[in-house]
Amino acid sequence: MKLALLGKGKTGSKVIELIEQKSLPIEVSIFDSKTPITIDSLKGHDVILSFLPGDAFLEYRETLKSSGIPVVTGSTGFSWEEDFKNDLKAPWVYATNFSLGMNLVQQMIKTMSNAHKLFSDYSFNIHEVHHTKKLDAPSGTAITWRDWTGEDFEITSDRIGDVVGDHTLTFETQTEKITLRHEALDRKIFAEGALWATKKVLELEVGLYDFQEITLKELLS
């Protein structure tokens, strides 16, 4: 596989490290501030993997679409327009979090989303912590968690040191409290999930896919 890696930051570097550690048959081309992203420079690649910040990704998004190359992106800080997928030429997979363990979390939160069937007075809240260089707050993962509950409530955020990612969902009534926490211990978990997605995207039909949906389908198959 010939992979176009957009962004060699914290997670992008882990992707390269993982490929080298496992001697994976993947040839990587790195695109950063020194290497322009154009349709010509992307030619010959099998998959594009983006870890660009959201604003930078949006700047190049139409170029990526025009390339006709499958895209896997972990860029966050924006919303996908409903009609974006209408003129895609290749399958795209997007994620707010490439942790494969998030599939287990999703199932737990989906169960918690049925709280209204048992309780009339309750509340949810989410607190997320990331490193100081993460620009968007709340994180895309925290917003996704809230979406999974089907509720509308406050998300609080902290940016501390080099925290990879720490998300806590709390469900509370007057008499009990339930806490669900996911803590990323190493950015390698995002690299593992992203590389899994670069293989999976080649099996998909043209369209826009949520990483959580395709990994959950794999989990339940």
Catalytic residues, by residue number, are 130, 134
* Cα 126–chain centre separation: 18
d(CA 29, CA 217): 30
* Residues in contact with 190: Cβ distance below 8 Å, sequence separation at least 6, in sequence order: 11, 14, 74, 97, 98, 99, 184
* 207 touches 88 (CB < 8 A): yes
d(CA 44, CA 164): 33
* 88 touches 206 (CB < 8 A): yes
* 132 touches 161 (CB < 8 A): yes
